[in-house]
Amino acid sequence: METGGIAFIHDFILTDSKDAPEFGALFSLNMLINNPHGRAYSEKEIRSMLHEAGVSNVERHGFTGPNDSAILFGVA
């Protein structure tokens, strides 16, 4: 990732047990049924991916969408 920017992830962010929130967990199941590599990720997994990509200071925005989607962001 190029440095000097901000990365935003707006997605269904699951709990570490990956069974909540309900809408995100059902979306993840649907993705898995239709694509063997598709699924939703937990906040811990997303933070790890961002860290591996060189993104630091990752925070969760105080937003929850009507379908329980959420936003994580960090600095590249």
**Domain range summary for the chain, segments of one domain joined by +:** 6-75
Whole-number Å distance between alpha carbons of 24 and 70? 10
Distance of CA 52 to the CA centre of its chain: 14
Q: How many residues does the chain have?
A: 76
Query: What's the pLDDT at 1?
Result: 61
Backbone angles phi, psi at 33, to 5 degrees: -65, -40
Render pLDDT for 31-76 as a digit per residue (tens, 0 to 9).
999 998 999 999 999 999 999 999 999 999 998 889 999 999 999 8
Query: What's the pLDDT at 38?
Result: 92
DSSP run (H or E) holding 46: helix 43-52
Q: What is the pTM of this model?
A: 0.88
